[in-house]
Each structure stands twice: as structure tokens, then as C-alpha cells.
Structure 1
Amino acid sequence: MIKQNLLIELGTEELPPKSLKKLAVSFCENFEAQLNSANLQFDSIEWFAAPRRLALKIHNLDEQQADKQVEKRGPAVSSAFDADGNATKAAQGWARGCGIDVTEATRVKTDKGEWLLHVATVAGKNISELVEGFIVQALKQLPISKPMRWGAGKEEFIRPVHTLIALYGDKVLPAQVLGLTSGNQSQGHRFHHKDLVTISHADNYQNELLAAYVMVDFNQRQQTISQQMAVICKENKANTIEDNDLLDEVTSLVEWPVALVGTFEERFLDVPPEALIYTMKDDQKYFPLLDTNGKLLPKFIFITNIESKDPQQVISGNEKVVRPRLADAEFFYNTDKKHTLESRLASLDTVLFQKQLGTLKDKSERIAKLAGHIASQINADVTLSERAGLLSKTDLMTEVVMEFTDIQGVMGKYYALNDGEDSKVADALYQQYMPKFAGDDLPTSMEACAVALADKFDSLVGIFGIGQHPKGDKDPFALRRAAIGIIRILIEKELPLDFKLIAEFSAELFADKLSNDKVIDDVIDFMLGRFRAHYQEQNIKVEMIRAVEVKRPTSALDFERRLKAVVNFAKLDTAVALAAANKRVNNILSKNGQSEFVEIDDALLTDAAEINLVNKLKAISGSVNKSFDAGDYQAGLNQLADLRDVIDSFFDDVMVMADDNAVKNNRLAILGELQRLFMFTADISVL
């Protein structure tokens, strides 16, 4: 069978840079699914993406589907013919549907009788018949939230489309997609090669576009950018800030990347570097340069989409563009320093946190009280924690943060130091939002931890307290992120705090603002649910997490210790047998009610197996309880693992539901003690 490379390209107006890579990968996965569904064989598929195109190359694709045999079973022979051997109407109707005469049918015997059968050969379709449907379906499934229309047509896509290539080897395959007819012409570079480029063969796609100043391979383009920046860094004895999202975005903005370096006046370095970095990266898509000590230099790298004969003109243009932005940051910063953070507290009363929960000033006052309460339990300075909590939102009212919202907290630190606040207060303002994302740093000082926890608990309790739980992917107050942040801080900082008690204290601070009577239970349930997400990222099995969830521990550190013990226990050779035995114990006890249990009476022990089990329990229970009380769940479970043999013997040799009621209850009491010990850490039966 003939095999050729298939090229698909959709030429468009400039695609959204933050979505380009996602669109390309999705297009590739969708098209591959179509090929697999059609049982077309190919070696591999690769995607290409540039600002004005999405493309795929399918390597060594079969030209045609293989023929296949399709069996169509008819009526049973017993009902297909009458007494004279003539075909019944049922048989004739089936034969017509198959396009044959009844006499042409074969027969198949099964254990339920003999049936008429027709085996048809269905010829495979050529790729030229299939490609249009593949493209249409692959594009239809792209993650496009707001498609647009253009011109007078009714077609919709994320951007207007101009060209469509469907090339199998050097043959154009017929297709009508989004109002376009397939051909073999692609768009060249918008400035360097304005004419269309004829692609002579699917194999020549990349090279022929390279000649037209289009580097269509996204990864090649990104590697080129990285290499060019590395050369600039070496020449300037500098480094850039690693930012994969920015690198992806810049790669999506250019077809022919050329990295250049620009400069700005050193006086701007008096402004906090975070503000300068923010405006360069987020507003201008520039890469700031740092010296070998990590200090910001008055230089930046930018990626242009043209190979200019006079690069200095391009550099000057970019320097002129960024200078007003830096000047704004400088002006705002100097203006802000004229007012203390404390003087801005009153202005927080003009901004709502949430209409039922009050203003940002209300929130700040609650955070201050809750931070002090937490600080008193974690050996942090209560006064400094309260002070940081009170000032925590004041930098939101500064000009710099209003202009550059992503550096809230960061600017709070600089203004606090300018105001003469304690350095621990300043650091707490900087770190209050940590961790912002998975893998982000945690607050360093205990005072910062107290403020960060207070801020997150205030949001959790407040929003749950008015019944606005996160639903689906809607989480406007980022409560999931807040809960994960709380869990990480409590575990990684080894803070033995009870989040139920903290939530209760927080709820009291809202006075009569909360309308949900079950707010504490809802917060606990939500927190416990976040443990699953937190630990699944660490590849811990769901059943192990569930085993601990059953106990509903309200200390994150305690949850961590229990889970580690369960994970370790599950590695033991005895784990499976003991988990099964515990399940059996739980089933027996649940059917018989524990209210009738009595203390184990040695006088009622008759069988050797139950005597051995009770003796073993007595021998280790003291040590096990001591381990559990100390929070050393792992040691306790490891000791319980030694019970396997005596538990197995008990179930093999002893009838728990004895006729004698006293003996039965005594044996149930033995099971009750077993359950108590094994269930203390987690529900081992879940394993």
C-alpha cells in the first residue's frame, strides 16, 4: 500500500499568543483521534504553530483504509424457511437489506441454533475522501471560547482564515473547510515575504517556509530564541529570569525571531525591581537582565519579528516604548512614599471585600485579630503579627499596585520599610499571599505564616459562611488555592494547629455577618477534600488518602503523619491480609451493634486461638497506645502488623457468633478492641 506524508495547514490572521500552543496540541490530538477511529495506519504525527498558522504533518500515512469483512447475521434457519423450504418474508427482507438473494447466504451454527449469515467485504476509503471530515471535526473540537465571524460569511473560528493546505505527498486533496478550498499555498512572512508560498511537497513544508522567513516549528523557534538570549547574556555577563510562560508567549508572537538588547536609564533602578520587572515582562514582553548577584541591570532583551538592516532603529524604538512605562512606575512609587501605609487604613473602608462580609478594612481588622490568635500558638510575636495583619491590604490603595496589580504584597514590604515598620512586619506583608501556586515558596517567618494563614482562613470561613461554595470550575475567591496553601504551610512548617478551632475563632470575628449555620462543618469538609488533591499530586493512592479521611483529622500535620504511617503500612507483606481481616471485623461489628459490647472477660475465653489473640493484644496494646498518643502512628501500626497470625487463627478456629450469648459478646468485645486499635490511625479496611 502507498504511504506518503500528509500535510494539513490552516493559515489565519494572528492567533492569540497565550492560546497558540494549546490550540496546536489540541488540533494534533483531535486529528490523530480521527485517524485512529478510521483505522488508518501512520508512523507519527507532529504539530506546527506560528502566529498565522496551525499545521500538522502525518508521517507515512496509508493512502487508503484496508478492506474489512462485515458479518450480517440474519434470522434463525428455523424461522427463515417455511415447511416447504421456501424463504419467509423475514428472510427475504434481510437478504434485500444485504443486497443478496437468500440462496447466496451462508449459515453459522451456535449453541443456540443455526442462523443465516452474509459476509460482506467493505472497501476501504481513500484518504482523499476522508480528509475534509477529519479537518472539520478536529477544528470543531478546539478549545475556543469566543469564536468570531468575518466578512459576509457564516463561518466561525478564533480568527479569520485565509489559506488551507491538504497535501498528500505532492497531491492536493480536495477539501472545503471554513469557506476555503484546499490548495498548496501558504502565507509567507508578513514583512519579509508578503507573497504566498507554494508548497511543492509535504516533505518540503518547513524548508520552503524557512526560505520565506517563517520558522514554522514552534520548538525550533523557541530554541532559537533561547540560544540568541544565551549569547546576549554571555556578552553582557548577565542572566534572565526564567519564565516559561513568557517564553511560550513570545515564541507565539514571532515567525522569524531576532533577539536584541535594549537599555534604560539607571535612575529607574531606584524603583523596587519587582515593579520594573513586572512592567517589562507583562506589559512589553521583555526579558529583564540581572547581574551575577541577581540584581536588576538597566538592560532588557526583546524578541523582534524582523531581521532589520538597521537593528539600532528597532532597539531605539523599543527603548522609547518602555521608558514612559518605567517613568510611570517611578512617579507612582515616589508619590506613594509620601503617605504611610497606616494612613491608608481609612481608605480601605471605601472598597468592598464582599457585600455581605464588609469592606477591606473590616477584613484587615479580622486578619489582625486572627493572626494574633494564631501567632500565640506558634511561637510568633503576637504584636507584630497583628500589626502586619492590620496593614496587610493597605498597599492595594497605592498608585503602583493599582497600576501593577500582580505586585500587591510585594510593594507593601517596600512601603512598610520606608515607613519604619519592623522588618518582620514588612516581610509578612510581602509573603501574605504565599504560596500562590503549586511549588511556590512558603512564608519564611512565623509572623508571616500567621498572617498568611489568617488571610486564607478569613476568606474560607467568610465565603462558606454566606453559602457561596466553589462550584465546578468557578472559584472567584480562589478558595481551593487558599485551602491548599493552608495545608502546605501547616505541614511543611510543622505547625500542629487544629483548623477546626481556627475556623471557629475566625467565624466569631464575623459576628452576625454569616448566614450558614453549618459553616464550620463545610470548611472542614472542604479542607479534607483538598488533602486528596494535595496528595494525589505526590502519586499517593486514593484509597490510602480515603483511609485517613475517614478519621476526619482536623490537624494537617496529624493528617500527614497518619498518611505516612498508612503508606508505610501498605508496603508490609501483612498489609493485604490485615486489611481484609479489618474489613471482616468491621462487617461483623456493624451487623451486631457495639452498644452491647462488654469488657473482655478472661473467664469466658475457651478456645486456644482466642486466648492467644487476647494475650497478644494485652502484650502490645500498652506500647501501641503509647505510640499513638505520641503521634507516632507508624510505630503503632508496625506493632499491630505482628497480630496477623493470631488474627488469622482466630477467624479460622473460633465461631464469633456462638450460641452462648455471653461468649458471643465476649468475642465481639475482642473484635471491638481490634477495631479500636486498627482504626485509631486510619480505616485500614479501605486498603
Structure 2
Amino acid sequence: MTNTHDLLIEIGTEELPPKALKTLSNAFTDSVTSQLGDQALTFSKVKSFATPRRLAILLSDLAETSPDKELEIWGPPVKVAFDDAGNATNAALAFAKKNNINADNLSQHIDNDGKQDKLCYRSTAKGSDTKNLIAGIIDTALQSLPIAKRMRWGSSRTEFVRPIQWLAIVFGEEVIHETIFELRSSNVSKGHRFHCNRELCITSASSYESILREQGKVIADYDLRQQMIRDQITAIGLSLGGHTVISDDLLDEVSSLVEWPVALAGSFEERFLKVPPEALISSMKEHQKYFHVVDSNEKLMPHFITVSNIESRDPQKVIDGNERVIRPRLSDAAFFYETDCKTSLEQRREKLRTIVFQDKLGTIYDKTCRVSSLSADIAELLNADKNNARRAAELSKSDLVTEMVLEFDDMQGIAGYYYAQNDGEVNDVALAMNEQYMPRFAGDNLPSTMTGTILALADRLDTITGIFGIGQIPTGSKDPFALRRASLGILRIIVEKNLTLDLKTLVDLAIEKHDKFAGNTKLSETVVNYILDRLRAGYEDQGISAEVFLAVNAKQLSSPLDIDHRIKAVQTFNKLPEAGALAAANKRVSNILAKVDEQIVAEINSDLLQEAAEVTLAQQLSLQKEKVEPLFAVADYEGGLKSLAALQTAVDDFFDQVMVNSEDDALRKNRLSLLKQLQSLFLEVADISLLVVSK
């Protein structure tokens, strides 16, 4: 049985970029374990470590050697390897030389590969020592890390994300000495930069984590360190009488900035709470990496929590220092807010005339004019307040020229909401200043007001039609105006807010506002198709097959809500036991009708119904038509398709017992009309013949 040992690999560096630390650690671990797998080297478990100054991996019970390999090398067929006299040919001699076989013994190396007798050489390749493979595995792993921009240091030509300072490799208790990235490996690590700024001897691979923690004041386990931070800041928030707001991205970043986390609470003056809380939170989070605290009503409290990388003997000094740092930033936010409130959004709108939206599409001011007119049109379609929609659109971009947004770009829209409130605008208009950007990302909230909903649609439609109009259609990964995201936003808003809006109508209205594109039907068709194309991936994410989407898409509809209802109805129908047979029957009907040259109408002459099966089908079709027409009229597609599923037996009997292409022309046409009526009933919802999966 192969002996096993734990293997530690540690790469010590200058401070790694915090937002990339988790990605780098995962990629390093994945590469090492994948390469070990390629060598058939087994281990019981793997543990990753990542701190600002190190990437490390501990493999438990790693085999000392890779397993022996049984080699099987086939040579030429016997009839080629030997002549009629039984002498080895040149082909056989070449095979013998290549595999170091005595030519006189070639006859001992004949075997059958299942088809014919051939020369075959079998041998056992001795497994490699793990120690001899480690350097190559590490080098490959480091070279393959996803590093956007590598750097060099000193006179070295080596490139990495940050300068490498030390390299430790310990196999069991044995130190592995290798040169990687021009550094000689050892069993020496380093402790915390301030608490233990010295070398640490790693006596065994398994003792790595405990040595760093107990001697080096380093919590090397990323997940453990993150949980410590979460626990500490949660407890502090409760002690302050509120609770800490923990965003995953900030927690990840802070966890990647410290090796020995110590959470501390600081405070700021209550006068700053008059400033929009989002601005204060942005200052604390983005610039200082502080967590904020809210009360039971989710209102911001005058406290912050910082995570220090040192355990100070006088923590109050650390707190005082952080309070001194944050105060000027909060003062700036307060100054910007107070200054901005002196000028209304209406007054600021004129400044938008100097800001270009897109060279061929005019200024931001021009955009607000187009969006205002389009918003009023959409409001009319929805029987909503046109004045609110128009007003919100006019003011929608005015906060772009405020001091607050110029300093904190993530306040775009949010600042507009507070300034609209300050200006005395109606609540719907104020809320729309921020809601116009919703949803900002997948899974984000949708606008809560009708005015915000209309503005969100109008703004996106104006951008998409304009950019398409000037020919800047997204290609590949290039989408500078985020038209894919805008399209998904439009679809989500219409579907999830149950808006009975036709996309083609909306696009045509948006195109009209761009005078140079007005009446461009090709542009309209292109934009509508582009937006609707975003639907397919969304439905696939919900587990809806491509066949279901294509069945509905064959109808060439342009109302997203109606399309959604149909797709969900067809998805439900497709799970019924009758669905497969009916889909196949409709496929057969489509093929039959496609081969007919003359025009076939769906009107049946009952006098020409001869066979019992066609009489039954005609009766069933008549009955179903009466049942489903009222259902389809109110868009109850699911109910209609469930009812039509009852046709399966009649349809199957018809195809089993009736000859469609009768020699009697009248009978043939009447039976084709019967099939046309069957097809038409299902086509009210979708082309279910497309549910038959292509083989």
C-alpha cells in the first residue's frame, strides 16, 4: 500500500488585490487538485487558505507516488510483421527496436486485438515520486491563475499579480526544496505584518494552520476569518441597539484585507443624519470599508463598524482615528446635499444641453424631451397619469449635474429622489427619479409606482431604438450601452407587472420620437426581435425547454405578457400524458397540409363524413371549439389546452382508420378541412407540432 503524507504549499506575497483574493485562491486550488488527478495521485481532502499576504493549500493523505501504469503498445499485424518464411520484416524490426525487444523473441509478443493477430508489447511503467512532480504542478497553477494584469519586480523577469516574497513546500515533515518563479522553497512562512513580523518554521504540513494562528497571529482560513468578522460585527450592532447591515461584497472585501480581524465601533454626529442615508452609507462603505448600523425601523444610526487588522492595546485610539477620517467625508456629503438643495431639478435641466448622450443622438436634454413625449404616450396606453409621466421624464436626468452625483456616482437616481422631494414634486414623480433605473441587475426590484414603471420603460426604449437606429447593434461581448440588460429590464417590467402592452407598438412610438428614424419599419422589426430574443434564455433558466419557447414563438407575437401566459400554458400542457401523441399528430397534420397545393379551409361538410372515426373527430372538434373559444378569449390558454388534450383518442383513431388522401377529391378535401380545423384550434395558442423533439 502506498504511503501518504500531508502536503502544504504556501505562496507568500505582497498584499493581494482584495476583490480578486477568493477567485485567485479557488483557481489555485482547482488547478493543483486537477493536475494531481491527471497524475492519478490520490488524497483524502483539500483545504484552501487565503489572506492578503498568502495563497496556500493543504492536501491531506497525499500518496507518495503515483500508481504504476500498465502499458500496451500495439504493432503491425502478423501478416505484415513476418514474411512467408516466418522472418521478421522491416516493420517488425522497427517495432522491436522502438520498444527495446530482442528481435529473436518477437514471436512471443503476438496477441489478438479482437480483430486480428498483431505484435503487442506490454510493460509496467513505474509510478513517479510525488516530490518530483510538485514543482511543475505549482508552476503550472501559478501561471494559469486568472490575473488581468501581471507585474514584474526588481530585476526579475518573473510576472505575477504581486511580488512573491517567500515559498513554503512541506510534504509530511520533509521540506521540499525547489526553485519556482526564481525563489527557492523552504519550510519558512511569515507571521502577521505587525503582530509577528518574523519568520515562522513550519515543522509539518498538518501544523501549518495552528502555527500561523498561535505563533503568527494569522487566521489563514478565509471562511473562518470571514465568519469571525460576521460574528463580531453582528454582536457589536446588537450592542449598539440596532443591527449591522452586512452586504456580501463588502464582507468579502474586508475579509480579504485583514489577517487578524478585530471589529470596533465608532460614531459620528447625529446632524449628518439629515443627509440622504445612501450618501452616508456610500461614504462609509466605498471609501472606508465600514459597515453601517440601522435601528428596528431600518433607519440609519450614527454609528459605524470598522474591522481592524491589529489587536491594539488601546483600541480607543484606533476608533478615534477612524472617526477623524470619516468625519470630513460625511461633512463633504452634507455640504453637497445642502448646496444642491438650493437649486431645483427644473433649474438644473438646462445644464443637460451641454452633455452629449451620443454624438448622433444629441444631448441628455434631447433625450429627456424624447422620453417625456414617449412616457406620455405609454401613460395613455395604460390609462395612467400623463402629467406625472411627462414631468418625471423631464426631470429624470437633472441629478446628473448635482454635486452629490458628481462625487458619488452610485447616488444617481437616489439623489434625484431626495431633490425632487425637496422641490415639492408629487411623490410618484420623486420616486420615479430612482425607479427609472430599476431593475439595475438580475433579480433587482421593479419600480413600485406606475410613473416609475412608465419612465423605466420609456428611457430604455429610447436608448435601444436610438442606438439601433444609428447602426451600433451589440455584437459578441461588446454592448457599450448595455442594451441586453435594458431589453431584459423591459421584458421583466411588462411581464412581472402584468402590463398588457404590445412591444411593437412601444417600439414604433419610441422610433417616432427620433425624427430621423420615424417610419422605419425595418428598424422596428429588428428592435422588437432583438428584445424578444432575450426571452429564450430567461425561460431556459426557469427550466422551460427550447421546444416550448419555439412553439409559442412560431406565432410571431409581440406582447410579452401574452407570450408569457402562452409559454406557461404550453409548458403545463407538455407535461400531460396526452401531449406527446397530440404533438406528433399535429406534426403529421402540418406535414400533410404543407404538401397540399390548393387552399384548404377549416369548414367541414358533415354530409361527406363517412368513416366512424372521422365523424367522431368532427363531433369532438365542434364540442371543443365551443369549450375553448371563451377560454382563449380571456387568455386562459392553460385551461384551453387542457381541454384540447381530450382530443387525443379521437385523433389517434382518425389516423389509424381513415385514409386522408382518398381518391375521391371531395372526400380528400373534406378530410383535409378536418385536419385544418384540428390544427387551427391548437394554433390559437401555439404550434404544438414543434414540441416534437428533433432527432
TM-score class, shorter-chain normalisation, is: over 0.9
Q: Show the counterpart of 1:86.
A: 87
Partner-residue secondary structure (3-state), 2:452: helix
In the aligned structure 1, how far is the partner of 2:603 from the partner of 2:99? 77
CA RMSD in angstroms, aligned pairs only: 1.9
8 A Cα contact 2:512 2:519, kept in partner: no
Partner-residue secondary structure (3-state), 1:120: strand
In the aligned structure 1, how far is the partner of 2:301 from the partner of 2:15? 33
8 A Cα contact 2:602 2:676, kept in partner: no
Q: Show the counterpart of 1:167.
A: 170
Q: Deviations over 1:262-318 (max 9, x none)?
A: 111111111111111111111111111111211111110011111111111111111
In the aligned structure 2, how far is the partner of 1:658 from the partner of 1:503? 49
Task: Report deviation, 1:111.
Answer: 5.5
Partner-residue secondary structure (3-state), 1:518: helix
In the aligned structure 1, how far is the partner of 2:621 from the partner of 2:527? 38
- The within-5 A match list for 1:390-539 is 390-512=394-516, 518-539=522-543
Decide which moves more: 659-668 or 292-301.
659-668
Decide which moves more: 259-268 or 23-32.
23-32
Q: Does 1:65 align with 2:66?
A: yes
Q: Does 1:546 align with 2:550?
A: yes
Q: Show the counterpart of 2:295.
A: 291
Gaps of 5+ in 1: none
Q: Show the counterpart of 1:377.
A: 381
Decide which moves more: 16-25 or 133-142.
133-142
Match of 1:198 among 189, 196, 201: 201
8 A Cα contact 1:260 1:301, kept in partner: yes
Q: Show the counterpart of 1:653.
A: 657
8 A Cα contact 2:176 2:185, kept in partner: yes
8 A Cα contact 2:602 2:674, kept in partner: no
- The within-5 A match list for 1:567-578 is 567-578=571-582
Q: Show the counterpart of 1:107.
A: 110
In the aligned structure 1, how far is the partner of 2:520 from the partner of 2:192? 60
What letter corresponds to residue 590 of structure 2 in structure 1?
Answer: N
In the aligned structure 2, how far is the partner of 1:649 from the partner of 1:431? 57
Decide which moves more: 510-519 or 99-108.
510-519
Q: Show the counterpart of 1:55.
A: 56
In the aligned structure 2, how far is the partner of 1:594 from the partner of 1:496? 38
Match of 2:240 among 236, 243, 246: 236
- The within-5 A match list for 1:127-142 is 127-142=130-145
8 A Cα contact 1:68 1:121, kept in partner: yes
Q: Show the counterpart of 1:144.
A: 147
* 1:468–1:420 distance in 2 versus 1, CA, 3 Å: same
Partner-residue secondary structure (3-state), 2:498: coil
Q: Show the counterpart of 1:36.
A: 37
* 1:514–1:176 distance in 2 versus 1, CA, 3 Å: farther
* 1:138–1:614 distance in 2 versus 1, CA, 3 Å: farther
What letter corresponds to residue 197 of structure 1 in structure 2?
Answer: L
8 A Cα contact 1:597 1:666, kept in partner: no
Q: Does 1:120 align with 2:139?
A: no
Task: Report deviation, 1:232.
Answer: 0.7
Task: Report deviation, 1:149.
Answer: 1.4
In the aligned structure 2, how far is the partner of 1:662 from the partner of 1:283? 83
Count the aligned residue pairs. Answer: 687
8 A Cα contact 2:81 2:88, kept in partner: yes
* 1:661–1:68 distance in 2 versus 1, CA, 3 Å: farther
8 A Cα contact 1:46 1:56, kept in partner: yes
User: Which TM-score applies when normalising by structure 1?
Assistant: 0.96
In the aligned structure 2, how far is the partner of 1:662 from the partner of 1:99? 84
Task: Report deviation, 1:174.
Answer: 4.4
In the aligned structure 2, how far is the partner of 1:597 from the partner of 1:118? 74
In the aligned structure 2, how far is the partner of 1:3 from the partner of 1:106? 37
Q: Show the counterpart of 1:268.
A: 272
Task: Report deviation, 1:254.
Answer: 0.6
Decide which moves more: 494-503 or 605-614.
605-614
Task: Report deviation, 1:343.
Answer: 0.6
Partner-residue secondary structure (3-state), 2:381: coil
Q: Show the counterpart of 1:317.
A: 321
Partner-residue secondary structure (3-state), 2:40: coil
In the aligned structure 2, how far is the partner of 1:222 from the partner of 1:595? 72
* 1:298–1:70 distance in 2 versus 1, CA, 3 Å: same
* 1:348–1:593 distance in 2 versus 1, CA, 3 Å: farther
In the aligned structure 1, how far is the partner of 2:398 from the partner of 2:173? 65
Q: Show the counterpart of 1:189.
A: 192
8 A Cα contact 2:603 2:677, kept in partner: no
Gaps of 5+ in 2: none
Task: Report deviation, 1:549.
Answer: 2.7
In the aligned structure 2, how far is the partner of 1:93 from the partner of 1:591? 64
Q: Show the counterpart of 2:678.
A: 674
Decide which moves more: 19-28 or 646-655.
646-655
In the aligned structure 1, how far is the partner of 2:452 from the partner of 2:483? 19
Q: Show the counterpart of 1:155.
A: 158
Task: Report deviation, 1:595.
Answer: 4.0
In the aligned structure 1, how far is the partner of 2:644 from the partner of 2:311? 73
Decide which moves more: 149-158 or 164-173.
164-173
Decide which moves more: 671-680 or 48-57.
671-680
Partner-residue secondary structure (3-state), 2:439: coil
8 A Cα contact 2:345 2:420, kept in partner: yes
In the aligned structure 1, how far is the partner of 2:23 from the partner of 2:463? 32
Q: Show the counterpart of 2:583.
A: 579
In the aligned structure 2, how far is the partner of 1:279 from the partner of 1:554? 44
8 A Cα contact 1:262 1:302, kept in partner: yes
In the aligned structure 1, how far is the partner of 2:641 from the partner of 2:75? 63
